[in-house]
Every structure is written in structure tokens, then in C-alpha cells.
Amino acid sequence: MTSVPEDEQYAVFPDCDALSSNTNGQKFLYHTKVDDKLHLANSPDRLIRQSGVGRKISPLGLSLFFTLGFVPAPYCIYEAIRKFEVSVAYSSGSNTDLDKAAVKLEDLLQRALASEVEQLDRYAVLASGGMDSSLVVSLLEDLFQAPVSTLSVHTRDLCDPLSTSRPMHRNLLLNSSNWSDLLPLFAGLDEPVADSMLIPLHAAFQAMRPGATAISGIGADDWFGGLYEHLALHIWSSCEAVPASWPEKDRWIVKRMITDLASRGNASAGWIRMVSRMGADERSALLGSYLHDRATSDESDEFLRCWIERAPSFLDGAMRFAQRVRLPGQTLALLRTANRLTNTRHFSPFLAKDTASFAAGLPVDMMVRNSHRKVLLRAIANRRLTPGILEQPKVGFSIPLPGLIAPLIRNWEVIEDDPALNQRAVRRLIGAWTNSDGQEQLRLAAHIWMVAVWRLWWQTHRAEL
């Protein structure tokens, strides 16, 4: 039996598709069962209030957070609550013509934007100068037949190529004091998510006029093969071996990527987050008093191994991981929070349902081919964008982790009252970070950042737990 309250934000999830929503665009991802009644809501807080389930922290959810930086579906940070997984259909093989697929995708993106601009009053495109947001700008300018407004967020005063090439571009500069002011954002998340992208995203939304719509290229990486190296990094950090069942070509790709990524001296914040996920021993030391033994920590690694070992190939597993785990668990969680706190609407043609359905049915070699990312999107970009745009690096919308954690460490209180963390292990972690440099310091910075996000979230919710 299903409980269906009158409140429109608390309703039956229509088809277990994380991209589905009601008429107000609310996502119903959380569910629990009480007395044979299935309760669903768009946030765990609302679900707890309506159903009466408790707020006990899930050891597995906590271990997964310290593995991935977020809690993936079907799990939740609360033991009595679950999240729906994304239902995606996959195809295999290479029987789709690249040119025809590019024409189809371009049409879907144009249609998604056209349906949106009909109701636009005020808007800005969140532009990083990369391929995804540049494609959105190009498609919108075709619709408007005029230059569109763009906005970038930077963390240091640098030359933004968009400032000189776009007449309606605004550049927002964040300094370290701005970062500190925005750190409480992480306390307001439904569940802890250790992605510093929330800071520039919130700053961009907040800088827009009331009632405006932020348009972006978010979702392109997840749906069209921009994140395929993530699974390679998880194999490296959690599984330690490439499955023997994978074709030799896939084994070679993984080894090549790991070698390439490990050799980068000035790694981006996004890469640091992915490459430095905690292994089982580190998690067990940090969370030992809460997990009681290694079993829960091993179970969170098993979650990753399932994605790797069940996949027929590396690329298939990478696509599944990005679309079904990272997108709903991390990206959409940040968007929901930024939307709610700023009352700014967000739209991305890459998250439109028709676009996502099309992407889910494509063979993986339309996404990644010969270790080149976003093959299909690049086919569209080659026709619409100049070579200079395709070759220039992204600018903005990232926060350096060392700059974030330094003020946090100085202001940390004694953490003996936190049942999830081992105080000695945290102090050893901070000491190791202080005395390290280079790549090791960056790796440890990401570990401390996950501890910091957990602390921010837990201190806000502790009275309810």
C-alpha cells in the first residue's frame, strides 16, 4: 500500500527515473517503508517528518561518503531511508553512424533550448570557455539571433578570454574570504557531498537577478563520456587491479590513463578529488569507532567492484558509473541545493529527458573512442565552434582545495563529540598534510576536505540525530 499525502512535494515517484519530476520540477528520490506503506519525498527531512522514521546514521552510507565524496543510490546517509536508482537502457556495439547521431543530438539540444527560451525572462549562461558551455552559447545565439549573456566565476584575478571575446560577459571573482562565507552551504545539503563545485555554483546563482534562469552545460560529461577516467581512478584506489575478463584493449586504456594522470604535476581540483578517494585501511582508521570493524568499509569497496566487474568492458562500466551513480548522487544534489538556497532556476539541455534518453541508448564508442572523450559532442562542436575554443582550457568554476581547508583546520574545535570520527586519526591526517608537499599534499587535502564537509554537515544536524 502506498501513502499519498496531498502535499505536492511529497508524492509517489512515477517511474523510478531520477530525471522524472512533478509539474513543479521537484525530484522524488527518497523512499522508506513503514507499516507496509511506501512513503516518498523530495528530501530526507520531509520524508522523516511525514513517515516518522528515525535519523540514525548508516555506517555503510558514511563509509560510502568517505569512499566517493557522496552517498550513492540506493543508499542514504540515514539507515532507514533509501534512494531510487536511475533506470537507464544501454546498447552495445558500433552500428550507429556518427554523423547521423550528431545531427540527431544537435536537434534534440536545439529543441530542449527552444522549449525553454519561450518562457525565459532573465537568464545567463554559466560559461567556462569549455566545449559544453560553448555549445550551449552557440545554440542559444542561433535561437535569439543575437549575443547571449554569459557569466563566469573565478578564484583568482586572471585573464578570462571570454571577457574580451563576448560583449555581454560578466566575470565574478571569489577570494578566500568569500570561500569561508560560503562554507556553511555544505551544512544545508540533504546529505553530505564533498564537491567544492557547490561554492562557485551558488555564487553564480546568487549573482543573478531574482527569478532569472541559469543555463549551463552540466550533464554533458556524465551522459556523453567526459568522465570515463573516473572508473580507472577507482580501480587504482579501491580495487587495485583491472578485471581479467576485460578485453586487452580496455586493460591498456586503463593503464595508460592511470600513468598519464599520475604524472600530472598541476592536477585540477576535480582530478584531485577523484584520484584521492580513501582506501579501506584509511577509512577504517578514520571511522573505526563508528564502523566497529572492517566489514562495513569492505562493503563500500564492494559497491565499486560491482560496477567494475559486472561491466563487459571498461568504457561500458565508466558510462554506467557516471550516469547512474555520479550524476544523481553528486551533480543533481548540488543543483537542488543551489536552486533551493538562491531561488534561481537552472536548466541544461543535457539534462532534458529526451537528450538523456537518446544518450542512454548510444553505444559507448559514440562517447569514447581510442581514449578520446566526448566523441559525439566533438563532432557537433567541430561544425559550430572555432578551433581556438576547442583547444583553450576551461577557466573558472573550480576552487583549490588547499585554500579551502587551511582556514577550516585553524578553526576546528575538538572533535571528541563526533561519534563518526577517530580524533587521533584526524589529527594524524592533518599532521601528515602539514608536513607533506606536492602530489601527496594534494591527495591528503582531499581526505581532509571530506572530513571537513562531514563536520559541517554533522554539526548542523547533530541535535536531530
Pair type for strands 37-41 and 30-34: antiparallel
Beta bridge partners of 215: 125, 347
Q: Per-domain residue ranges for the chain?
A: 89-398
Grid look-up 584575478 returns: 157
Architecture of domain 89-398: 3-Layer(aba) Sandwich (3.40)
Q: Is 424 exposed, middle or buried (0-12, 13-18, 19+ CB in 10 A)?
A: exposed
In the chain, the amino acid numbered 297 is S
What are φ and ψ of residue 238, in 5° steps?
-120, -35
Predicted local confidence at residue 187, as pLDDT: 87
74 in Cβ contact with 85 (< 8 Å): yes
Distance CA(307)–CA(302), nearest Å, equals: 9
Phi, psi of 26 (to 5 degrees): -80, 135
Distances (CA, A) of 325 to 85, 191, 231, 321, 328: 8, 15, 11, 5, 6
Whole-angstrom distance, CA of residue 298 vs CA of residue 284: 9
Query: How buried is 15 (Cβ within 10 angstroms: 0-12 exposed, 13-18 middle, 19+ buried)?
Result: exposed
- Determine the length of the chain: 465
Give the whole-angstrom CA distance, residue 34 versus residue 349. 38
What is the rounded CA–CA span in Å between residue 124 and residue 431? 43
**Per-residue three-class SS string for the chain:** CECCCCCCCCCCCCCCCCCCCCCCCCCCCEEEEECCEEEEECCHHHHHHHHCCCCCECHHHHHHHHHHCCCCCCCCCECCCEECCCCCCCCCCCCCCHHHHHHHHHHHHHHHHHHHHCCCCCEEEECCCCHHHHHHHHHHHHHHCCCCCEEEEECCCCCCHHHHHCCCEEEEECCHHHHHHHHHHHHHCCCCCCCCCHHHHHHHHHHCCCCCEEECCCCHHHHHCCCCHHHHHHHHHHHCCCCCCCCHHHHHHHHHHHHHHHCCCCCCHHHHHHHCCCCHHHHHHHHHHHHCCHHHHHHHHHHHHHHHHHCCCHHHHHHHHHHHHHHHHHHHHHHHHHHHHHCCEEECCCCCHHHHHHHHCCCHHHCCECCECCHHHHHHHHHHCCHHHHHCCCCCCCCCHHHHHHHHHHHCCCCCCCCCCCHHHHHHHHHHHHCCCHHHHHHHHHHHHHHHHHHHHHHHHHHHC
Q: Omega of the bond prior to 393 within 30 degrees of 0, cis?
A: no
What tens-digit pLDDT sequence spans the chain (465 residues)?
Answer: 333 333 333 333 333 333 333 334 455 678 998 888 888 888 898 899 888 898 889 988 988 898 888 999 899 999 999 988 876 544 444 446 889 999 999 999 999 999 988 777 788 899 888 899 999 999 999 998 888 888 888 776 555 555 545 556 777 777 766 677 788 888 888 999 988 888 889 889 988 877 789 999 999 988 998 876 656 655 655 555 667 777 777 777 676 666 665 555 444 444 444 444 566 677 777 776 555 555 566 677 777 777 777 777 777 777 778 888 888 888 888 888 888 888 888 999 999 888 988 888 888 778 877 767 889 999 999 999 887 777 776 777 777 777 777 777 766 655 556 777 888 888 888 888 888 877 777 778 888 888 889 988 988 887 776
Q: What's the confidence (pLDDT) of residue 216?
A: 94
What pLDDT is stored for residue 140 in this prediction? 94
CA 21 to chain centroid: 19
Q: How far apart are CA 78 and CA 73, in angstroms?
A: 12
Say if residues 144 and 197 touch (Cβ distance below 8 Å): no
Query: Residue 31: phi, psi to the nearest 5?
Result: -150, 155
Residues 6+ positions from 49 with CB-CB distance below 8 Å: none
**Cβ 144 vs Cβ 152: under 8 Å:** no
Give me the pLDDT at residue 68, please.
Answer: 84
Check: pTM over 0.85? Answer yes or no. Answer: no
How far apart CA 382 and CA 162 sit, in angstroms, is 19
**What are the residues whose beta carbons fall under 8 Å from the beta carbon of 34, sequence distance 6 or more?**
51, 52, 53
The neighbouring-strand residues paired with 31 are 40, 82
Alpha-carbon distance 134 to 215, whole Å? 11
C-alpha cell at 111: 529543441
User: What confidence score (pLDDT) does residue 293 get?
Assistant: 52
Using alpha carbons, select from 130, 125, 122 the residue that is nearest to residue 204: 125
